[in-house]
Amino acid sequence: MKKILASWIGFTDIRASKASAEDGLGPIGQAVKAMEFDLICLISDFNRKEIECYIEWLGKLTEARIVSHKEKLSGPTHFGEIYLVTSKMLNGIRSRYGDDVLLTFHLSPGTPAMASVWIILAKTRFSAELIESSVHEGTKIVSLPFDIAAEFLPDLLKKQDSRLEFLAKGVSPDTPEFSGIIHRSLVMKRVILKARHIAARSIPILIEGETGTGKELLARAIHQASPRREKPFIPVNCGAIPRELQESEFFGYEKGAFTGATRQKHGYFESADGGTIFLDEIGELPGSAQVKMLRAIQEKEITRVGSVQPISFDARIIAATHKNLVHEIVEGRFREDLFYRIAVAVLKLPPIRERPGDLGVLIDYFLHRIHAESEEAMGHLRKKISASARNFMLQHEWPGNVRELQNTLMRAVIWSSEKTIGIEDVREAIIPMSHSDRDTLMNRSLRKGINLPDLVNKLSSHYLKRAIDEAHGNKTKAAQLLGLPSYQTLSNWMKKYNVD
């Protein structure tokens, strides 16, 4: 495994190479005398002659190979430029040597801005050891008592690029309709970018996601960002309509069509004319209703119960389900032709456990909203969450996702008697759920036999991906989360189970 030192060349280093030994070796010279490296990668804005003279001098202090990168900066404190050129060099190292390296970043040479960028990169994209050197204390390892998450990278570094990306995709960077979807994770940013891109078009959309992930919230945002925003948004819970009432509810009925039909009634499709109809839990529809819905969506017309006169309608179809409709098709419970009618564009909402960085933001948002909505309630007391309670919530799987999180916080605020919500308050507020009906890895029937190697592969792949996401690509941290001895072991597991 190669040990690589990466550093900027500072003025102190240049002066050290020109002065006598009594004036010191400079930060880089001290480091290479105190520690052994296989490769030294240096970046500098100095002129080429000064760099060549410095490398020749430094080569007398170490047997490591020295590589220099000449980069032109508009200023020594320009964070954006420093971040880009430093990342470019490190990407080159990664592409040449892969992950089989031990990186060390030197903080002392250069400006404070350069040191800050090394810290950001070491704690986010590139796992690295940090060192610093001084005349009095020599070279020592810097141990930072915190981790900088990738989502905290300054937006300033990417602001213009993001704007250009949005414009290139034909999406306006300012769409307040989606501001109600609280998120910070990259996976949710991608979902919302796709939603914004298709909002202006009238193509049918299928939103997939577990219970409580916010499928209706996303559907409403798409409607509000579309040209149909001034027309009705009609939400329909397909699983809540009794089988015998489905035709009359969806398509309406004429006066006298059946006992109790004392007046004409418009159905959901007709009521959504010009706007959007949201078919929530469409996977719960029985086969007979699926046939009639397919024809309505295909022909863009319905016939009220008790009438023979077809009525045209123009409504955008947004469907949602917590089921795997492809699996339902294979099992014969959902029509393939209907699936292809509603799944022109497919958006997959990830569960909370697959949205790294979002849970803390959601906790703060819901707590603030609960206090705002309860401000006028008698005896309401504004409360905060203790560190232990927050950590407990961050570790919980949240099978009910955002809805479960919101309801749990509401119960914790109501039941806790102190100003600070403790871990026991949260533990009592979480309602234990039984998931024996789920296709889990731990409760599958042995009646027809199981494929144990396949189950082991799925379990390993699942947790490897989650750990990498949670650690923002930092293999050392991901290995610690999984109880593996080193990042090399993690790399071997990832290779074995085909995890990228």
Residues 436-486: pLDDT tens digits?
444 456 556 565 567 788 788 888 888 888 888 777 788 888 888 898 888
Domain positions in the chain:
2-152, 177-348, 352-429, 452-496
Lowest mean pLDDT among 138-147, 184-193, 280-289: 138-147
Rounded Cα distance between 490 and 465, Å, is: 11
State residue 437's pLDDT score.
42
> pLDDT digits over 274-294, tens only?
999 999 999 999 998 999 999
Average pLDDT over residues 10-23: 77
How far is Cα 237 from Cα 211, in angstroms, rounded to an integer? 13
Segment 42-60 shows an average pLDDT of 90
Q: What's the rounded Cα separation, in Å, for the pair 436 and 443?
A: 7
Whether residue 498 contacts residue 465, with contact meaning beta carbons closer than 8 Å, is answered with: no
Question: What per-residue confidence (pLDDT) applies to 438?
Answer: 45
The arithmetic mean of pLDDT across residues 356-360, rounded, is 86
CATH architecture for segment(s) 177-348? 3-Layer(aba) Sandwich (3.40)
Q: Is the pLDDT of residue 46 over 50?
A: yes
| The predicted structure's pLDDT at residue 145 | 54
What mean pLDDT comes out for the span 96-107?
86
Buried residues in 262-271 as b, exposed as e (16+ CB within 10 A): eeebbbbbbb
Looking up tokens 């280093």, which residue turns up? Answer: 13
Contact between 77 and 113 under an 8 Å Cβ cutoff? The reply is yes
pLDDT at 208 over 80: yes
Domain 352-429 has what CATH class?
mainly alpha
Q: What is the mean pLDDT of residues 34-41?
A: 92
User: Above 50 in pLDDT, residue 161?
Assistant: no
- Tell me the mean pLDDT in the region 55-67: 91
Identity of the amino acid at 177: E
The pLDDT assigned to 164 comes to: 41
Average pLDDT, the chain: 85
Query: Average pLDDT, stretch 397-406?
Result: 92
Average pLDDT estimate for 219-239: 95
Q: What's phi and psi for 112, nearest 5 deg?
A: -55, -35
Q: What percent of the chain stands above pLDDT 70?
A: 89
Q: What is the pLDDT, as a whole number, of residue 32? A: 92
Helix (H, G, I), strand (E, B) or coil at 190: helix
Average confidence (pLDDT) over 167-188 = 72
Kind of pairing between the strands at 301-302 and 311-312: antiparallel
Give percent above pLDDT 90 in the chain.
Answer: 44
Interval 142-162 mean pLDDT: 48
C-alpha span between 147 and 60 (Å, rounded): 37
Structure tokens at 170: 């034909």
- Per-residue model confidence as pLDDT tens digits over 412-443: 998 888 889 999 999 999 987 655 444 456 55
Joined tokens for residue 476: 């050392």
305: pLDDT strictly greater than 60:
yes
Question: Which of the 8 DSSP states describes residue 353?
Answer: G
264, pLDDT greater than 90: yes
Average pLDDT over residues 47-70: 90
| The domain made up of 2-152 is a member of CATH 3.40.50.10770 | yes
Q: Do domains 2-152 and 177-348 have the same CATH topology?
A: yes
Helix (H, G, I), strand (E, B) or coil at 392: helix
CB 319 within 8 A of CB 279: yes
65 forms bridges with which residues in the sheet? 39
Confidence of residue 105 (pLDDT cuts 50, 70, 90): very high
Q: Which residues pair with 43 in a beta bridge?
A: 8, 69
Q: Do the Cβ atoms of 389 and 199 come closer than 8 Å?
A: no
Would residue 24 be called left, alpha or beta, if left means φ above 0 and alpha means ψ between -120 and 50 degrees?
left
* CB contact set of 182 (below 8 Å; sequence gap of 6+): 358, 361, 362, 365
User: Cα(397)–Cα(156) distance, rounded to whole angstroms?
Assistant: 33
446/430 Cα distance (integer angstroms): 32
pLDDT at 345 over 60: yes
d(CA 393, CA 371): 19
* pLDDT class of 160 with cuts at 50, 70, 90: very low
- CA dihedral (102, 108, 109, 112) in degrees, to 10, reads 110
Q: Which of 9, 86, 105 is nearest to 48 (CA)?
A: 9
Distance from C-alpha of 62 to C-alpha of 37, rounded to nearest angstrom: 8
At residue 183, what are phi and psi to the nearest 5 degrees?
Answer: -165, 165
Residues comprising the chain, all counted: 500
